Amino acid sequence: MASSRVDLDGKPIKPITICMIGAGGFIGSHLCEKLMTETPHSVLALDVYNDKIKHLLEPDTNPWHGRINFHRLNIKHDSRLEGLIKMADLTINLAAICTPADYNTRPLDTIYSNFIDALPVVKYCSENNKRLIHFSTCEVYGKTIGCFLPKDSPLRKDPKYYVLKEDESPCIFGSIEKQRWSYACAKQLIERLIYAEGAENGLEFTIVRPFNWIGPRMDFIPGVDGPSEGVPRVLACFSNNLLRREPLKLVDGGQSQRTFIYIKDAIEAVLLMIENPARANGHIFNVGNPNNEVTVRQLGEMMTQVKGLSFIYSKLFLAFFSMFFGVYLRLLFPYLCLQVYSKVSGEAPLEKATIDVSSKEFYGEGYDDSDKRIPDMTIINRQLGWNPKTSLWDLLESTLTYQHRTYAEAIKKVIAKPLAS
Ligand code: NAD
Ligand code: UDP
């Protein structure tokens, strides 16, 4: 495997050691899996938790045994950090508090985690001449210019006013009392610091701006593998609602728009960055799928309602036969429809699929939102020749299959508990 692999310029790829901070999280677990199964590289995996990478660490019979070593540590206060960075050729920093429910309710923890705790990582990389791939966020763009235009302005349809471009778009956040922006602002400042270390001290860096990466192992299901009152990101919130057969909650009407990318597509991009330093160093990369844009309402509808043509056929079928069977068929309609979660779980669709909640009720005071997030792909195309592949339907199907397989039984037990006691 090691000898036959070449980079984008046809040069052989040498095995390296990677110090991955936050390796036990959602992205880290997929990146470790990819590195173990498809490359000869070694990983020093640093995190407070390792549940999501347990399958890679045990058993000793894994073909990659010895290439991945877990170090349980908190980078806030652990003197081993510099030594581990020195042992590696490359450091990848994924560690962060990165769930929106925390940004306005735990703004201090959010700012410390995303800025202060990342400082020593940048410093040790710079002082020891080690390459750094740092995970930032698409949230550094904040709101689009277009959202400040009058509602009926034709310019709102002009991509110049909403497509987000690494080297051109401004970063537009709300006022200070809108604490939602504590995360984006901390991420922006650490980006600026890394950029300055590159410019003034020659740090070799790459900054990644993920645009809503989703897939298996994302976040947690409240009350099963996370706190009952916890609020994860939207995929896990909606999965939790579906598993419990509750309506999906649409915050402020679910009007915000997002582009979702399948984690496995995104990991391909990160691997290209790891193995093509000459093309990736000094760059900031958007990593997203501009073709998978939906409003949050549409996302909820895709999960709970009918898929594309099946919807139209079902409607035609209903219109034709209801002339004869009237109201009976109308009652049957939900069961004739195909929706992602019903398809993967074999359960009937929800009677009431969604409900609206205000952001104040859902997230508390100080929440605000990004209106629209479409990544410009020019730079990543040019430097790494990378493009995402997976459609929204396909990524939802495989992710919800995983969610159902992993959590359906556990949820039944959680729901049954209060009745039994
Ligand atoms: P995650 O929460 O699943 O993973 C983060 C990991 O970092 C966790 O395992 C956590 O235990 C660890 N960590 C946090 N603080 C630590 C500390 N002090 N010491 C040691 N470990 C610590 O999140 P993720 O989705 O995998 O995101 C990884 C990175 O990508 C983050 O920097 C995040 O801001 C960024 N990001 C992700 C997305 C996305 O779509 N998933 C979007 C934008 C940005
Ligand atoms: N959201 C929602 N219902 C939920 C969870 C989230 O309507 O149960 C919305 C949230 O307000 C935001 C979008 O879904 O507009 C995406 O939220 P996520 O937590 O995934 O993170 P973000 O993309 O905002 O960083």
The ligand whose atoms approach the alpha carbon of 76 most closely is: 1
pLDDT tens figures, 266-292 = 999 999 999 999 999 999 999 999 999
pLDDT tens figures, 110-119 = 999 999 999 9
Instruction: State both tokens at 302.
Output: 């895709």
Q: Is the pLDDT of residue 331 over 90?
A: no
Q: Is the pLDDT of residue 333 over 80?
A: no
Q: Is the pLDDT of residue 336 over 50?
A: no
pLDDT tens figures, 197-206 = 999 999 999 9
Q: Closest Cα to residue 104, out of 409, 395, 420, 366?
A: 366
Amino acid, res. 418: P
Please report the pLDDT score of residue 345 as a whole number. Answer: 84
Q: Is the ipTM of this complex over 0.95?
A: yes
- 96-216+262-301+372-389 is classed in which CATH architecture? 3-Layer(aba) Sandwich (3.40)
Residue 286 Cβ contacting ligand 1 at under 6 Å: no
Task: Report how far ligand 1's centroid is from the alpha carbon of 114 (Å).
Answer: 9
Residues catalogued as catalytic: 183
Residue 100 Cβ contacting ligand 2 at under 6 Å: yes
% of the chain residues with pLDDT over 70: 90
pLDDT band at 295 (very low <50, low <70, confident <90, very high): very high
Which ligand 1 atom is the nearest neighbour of the CA of 78?
19
Its sign, for the CA torsion 29, 56, 238, 411, is negative
% of the chain residues with pLDDT over 90: 85
Q: Is the pLDDT of residue 90 over 90?
A: yes
φ/ψ of residue 10, rounded to 5: 80, 10
| CA distances for 123 relative to 21, 115, 118, 198, 290, angstroms | 15, 12, 9, 11, 34
Residue 95 Cβ contacting ligand 1 at under 6 Å: yes
Work out the average pLDDT over 172-182: 98
pLDDT tens figures, 146-165 = 999 999 999 999 999 999 99
Please report the pLDDT score of residue 220 as a whole number. Answer: 98
CB 350 within 8 A of CB 306: no
Give the residue, by CA position, lying nearest to ligand 1 atom 1.
Answer: 25
Task: Report how far ligand 1's centroid is from the alpha carbon of 115 (Å).
Answer: 13
User: Any idea which of 49-63, 114-128, 160-174, 377-391 has the lowest mean pLDDT?
Assistant: 49-63
pLDDT tens figures, 216-247 = 999 999 999 999 999 999 999 999 999 999 99
The ligand whose atoms approach the alpha carbon of 242 most closely is: 2
Domain limits, the chain: 96-216+262-301+372-389, 306-348
Q: What angle is formed at CA 309 by the lines to CA 308 and CA 311, rounded to 5 degrees?
A: 75
3-state secondary structure of 9: coil
Q: Is the pLDDT of residue 140 over 90?
A: yes
Q: Is the pLDDT of residue 310 over 90?
A: no
Q: Closest Cα to residue 277, out of 131, 72, 80?
A: 131
Most informative mutation of 296, 361, 396 for ligand 2 (most atoms within 8 A of CB): 296
Please report the pLDDT score of residue 344 as a whole number. Answer: 84
Q: Is the pLDDT of residue 315 over 70?
A: no
Please report the pLDDT score of residue 211 as a whole number. Answer: 98
Residue 249 Cβ contacting ligand 2 at under 6 Å: yes
Q: Closest Cα to residue 260, out of 307, 213, 220?
A: 213
What is the phi-psi region of residue 390: left when phi exceeds 0, alpha when psi lies from -120 to 50, beta otherwise?
beta
Task: Report how far ligand 1's centroid is from the alpha carbon of 363 (Å).
Answer: 20
Task: Report how far ligand 2's centroid is from the alpha carbon of 180 (Å).
Answer: 12
User: Any idea which of 169-173, 188-192, 261-265, 329-333 has the lowest mean pLDDT?
Assistant: 329-333
pLDDT tens figures, 19-76 = 999 999 999 999 999 999 999 999 999 999 999 999 999 878 899 999 999 999 999 9
pLDDT band at 365 (very low <50, low <70, confident <90, very high): very high
Distance CA 56, CA 78 (A): 24
Q: Is the pLDDT of residue 307 over 90?
A: no
User: Any idea which of 236-240, 326-330, 398-402 has the lowest mean pLDDT?
Assistant: 326-330
Please report the pLDDT score of residue 314 as a whole number. Answer: 43
Give the residue, by CA position, lying nearest to ligand 1 atom 8.
Answer: 25
| Cα torsion through 270, 375, 140, 154, rounded to 10 | 180
Give the residue, by CA position, lying nearest to ligand 1 atom 33.
Answer: 98
User: Any idea which of 178-192, 212-226, 320-334, 368-382 has the lowest mean pLDDT?
Assistant: 320-334
Give the residue, by CA position, lying nearest to ligand 1 atom 9.
Answer: 25
> Beta strand pairing status for 257-259 and 293-295?
antiparallel
pLDDT band at 341 (very low <50, low <70, confident <90, very high): confident
Work out the average pLDDT over 320-336: 46
Which ligand 2 atom is the nearest neighbour of the CA of 363?
11
Q: Is the pLDDT of residue 316 over 60?
A: no
Please report the pLDDT score of residue 340 as a whole number. Answer: 81
Please report the pLDDT score of residue 231 as a whole number. Answer: 98
User: For residue 77, how many other CB atoms are within 10 A of its CB?
Assistant: 8
Average pLDDT, the chain: 92
Task: Report how far ligand 1's centroid is from the alpha carbon of 349 (Å).
Answer: 33
pLDDT band at 347 (very low <50, low <70, confident <90, very high): confident
